[in-house]
Amino acid sequence: MQIKGNLCAVTGAASGLGRATAKALHDAGAAVLLLDLNKDRLEELQAELAPGTTLAVAVDVRDPGDIERSFDDAIAMFGPLRAVVNCAGIASSAKIVSRGEPHDFDLWRRVIDINLNGSFNVMRLAAARMVKNEPIGEAGERGVIVNTASVAAEDGQKGQAAYAASKAGIAALSLPVARDLAEHAIRCVAVAPGLFGTELFDHIPEKGIEALKRALLYPARMGLPSEFAGLVRHIVENPYLNGSLIRLDGGARLPA
């Protein structure tokens, strides 16, 4: 999929991996729909980018109306929606039982609702628009969806039951959705980042972070958001990547 001249949407664009991805796609020549709850930070990012090439909209990824309106407004401004990258999400740290008390069920539902249900909401509404696109390029593609899972989907830590479950759901979506959309020439791929120094780590106790760092192989450092964004760009541009979960973790396997 050619990025230059096409419309790409990024959720969670105000910070972290989403912000880096939005900038990378914009630098590659895309018009970018910037989606996030944080309106102020969205506007800061938009001000950094070339005028007239982005649309910034404060949305809740769980709200169908929010997402549909933002997609339709961007399509009216920039043309067909060709790529969507789901980066919106929250972290949590809570054991299933702690000091005799069960895991907060409202916290469980919130993590699943934002991370998994929100991502699927964006996917389904994006796909409904992509199937109407004219095929382009050598592969005759209509679109591509990239989701952000996590190595926690496979190596979940103590206190990550809700987060790991939400990310495992995202990981599991790639193949069936790719199969659903194959007849329409639309791809679906998930990336499972490892340890990246983003705002999500603000919710993890220092002891937990130090334990995670001991699992690093090479390079012995946290990942850079630009490295995640570079992989997303490659996925969008490489038509033979489909239905896969790609770990981006420097070879780390997180211990119990």
Q: How far apart are CA 186 and CA 83, in angstroms?
A: 9
| pTM for the full predicted model | 0.94
CATH number, domain of 89, equals 3.40.50.720
In the numeric block, which tokens belong to residue 157? 């830590």
Q: In the structure encoding, which two tokens stand for residue 48, read together?
A: 């950094």
Catalytic residues: 163
**Helix intervals (H) in the chain:** 16-27, 39-48, 64-78, 105-111, 118-130, 152-155, 161-181, 206-213, 225-237
Helix (H) or strand (E) holding 53: none
Task: Confirm whether 218 is domain-assigned.
Answer: yes
Q: Per the domain annotation, does 230 fall within a domain?
A: yes
Tell me, rounded to whole angstroms, the distance of Cα 158 from its chain centroid: 23
Number of domains in the chain: 1
**Residuewise pLDDT in 10s, the chain (256 residues):** 999 999 999 999 999 999 999 999 999 999 999 999 999 999 999 999 988 999 999 999 999 999 999 999 999 999 999 999 999 999 998 999 999 999 999 999 999 999 999 999 999 999 999 999 999 999 999 999 999 999 999 999 889 999 999 999 999 999 999 999 999 999 999 999 998 876 666 656 666 667 667 778 788 888 999 999 999 999 999 999 999 999 999 998 877 7
Per DSSP, 117 falls in state: I
For residue 153, what are the domain limits? 7-248
